[in-house]
Amino acid sequence: MRKTKYDDGFHSYLVEGATVVGEPGIPMLMDLRNVQIPKDIIPFEKAKHAKNKRQYVHFYMHDKYFADVLTSTTKYLNLLKQFDGVITPDCSLLIGQSPCLQQTNTYLNRAVGFYLQKNGIPVIPNIRWSDESSFEYCFLGIPKNSIVSVSTHGCIHSNEQKDMFKKGLWAMIDELHPTDVLIHGYMPESVFGEFSSVANFHRYKSWFERTHEKAV
């Protein structure tokens, strides 16, 4: 019988051996004790030509630029193994987006992370939410009392966005009790001031900030 591209059960090799949790069946990441606070982070699209490998690779960019990593993860193992570690893909969760799509993107975030862990790559989980309804599943599969990462890039322009970001940050902290939170992008006092006593925060400038500074 002729095989189709769906015969592997939605890239089931990514989650072989994983424990799935919650009603959506989100893969659970393994222990995160082998990770460290990154010396720096670098966008995936810049990693191929990077000379400095003492960084964690991140995916804080439009989904189309890392879509192939989600479907052909094995192809990128040799590249990603050259770096200190990887922050799991920032698959979009958007307000108004179908819940099944948001759950699928949460699944892919964890599935790719689990597969990279199985192949010896230190992984820091990226946490992404949309609105309060996503809190039911967007924190699934993340070990508690560990390092996590979030991005503010494009997420805190308006007062409404800032309020929603703070709600998600509080929900994440209440659920996961992270020891450290990496922040990709701006970290204004108006958003983060009330969180200063609940976790250790580490800010990393976005690629936009870095390129803009060079241009000025």
Ordered mean pLDDT values, 10 residues apiece, the chain (216 residues): 46 94 96 93 96 97 96 97 98 95 97 98 98 98 97 91 96 97 95 91 92 63
- Give the bridge partners for 202, in sequence order: 182
Task: Note whether residue 62 is domain-resident.
Answer: yes
Task: Note whether residue 2 is domain-resident.
Answer: no
Q: The domain containing residue 183 runs over which residues?
A: 12-215
Task: Note whether residue 172 is domain-resident.
Answer: yes
Task: Note whether residue 3 is domain-resident.
Answer: no
| Total structural domains within the chain | 1
Res 4: pLDDT: 42
Handedness of CA 69, 156, 126, 189 (dihedral sign): positive
pTM for the model stands at 0.92
Res 7: pLDDT: 45
Task: Note whether residue 186 is domain-resident.
Answer: yes
Task: Note whether residue 194 is domain-resident.
Answer: yes
Task: Give the separation between CA 163 and CA 145, rounded to whole angstroms.
Answer: 25
Res 3: pLDDT: 41
Task: Give the separation between CA 182 and CA 199, rounded to whole angstroms.
Answer: 10
Backbone angles phi, psi at 156, to 5 degrees: -135, 40
Task: Note whether residue 157 is domain-resident.
Answer: yes
Task: Note whether residue 4 is domain-resident.
Answer: no
Res 196: pLDDT: 85
DSSP β-ladder status, 20-21 and 26-27: antiparallel
Res 6: pLDDT: 43
Task: Give the separation between CA 78 and CA 34, rounded to whole angstroms.
Answer: 19
The separation between CA 178 and the C-alpha centre of its own chain, rounded to angstroms, equals: 14
